[in-house]
A and B are shown apart, each in its own frame.
Chain A
């Protein structure tokens, strides 16, 4: 049982380059989330999805786009990377929004933009 899988694990980009981070879950979860984590800032929500074909902005959406074409996949895109997007990115999923439905996290993607 893989749970939540993120690819790639590490990436170095030059300013202006683009990339897509992939999150895949095999738990049939409806809800999926992309967070970034920076030192001293905690986890901040970038975008989220409440089901296949839906996406919504979180706390820090600028510079990112997302798509949820299939229920099991949630893609995070950076169209033109900036050094401020150097961060650790975590994807998470949950079955519902209730007290008995915690978030399950992927291993993270460590992105450096030079």
Chain B
């Protein structure tokens, strides 16, 4: 089992839709979790950290489920500009952040 796994998609949704991605991780000792957004051929940019109690930033909601070892990202009211690849990042007890391969989102008119 890979350390961090994501469904590659693509998720193809209309504008205004709600879409959710999951990311599973194998190391139960993992301590910190992040969602990044990456546009084609650009560097990953931090979307949000994932807190134990869950957190929200505008249309984006992140959740952590330690028992089942996954994090999720919910996007409400999708915009065309949300089209991108979403990367989850898990950092365990070591210094090393591990990236999932990303989930591709396409929002169409």
Contact = CB atoms under 8 A, between A and B. Distances in A.
Interface of A: 31, 33, 35, 40-43, 45, 48, 50, 58, 88, 90, 94, 97-108, 110
B44 interface: yes
Nearest to A44: B99
Given A90-B43, A99-B33, A103-B89, A42 B97 contact: no
Given A40-B101, A42-B99, A97-B91, A108 B34 contact: no
Contacts, number: 58
Interface residues of B, number: 24
B69 interface: no
Interface of B: 31-34, 41-46, 49, 51, 87, 89, 91, 94-102
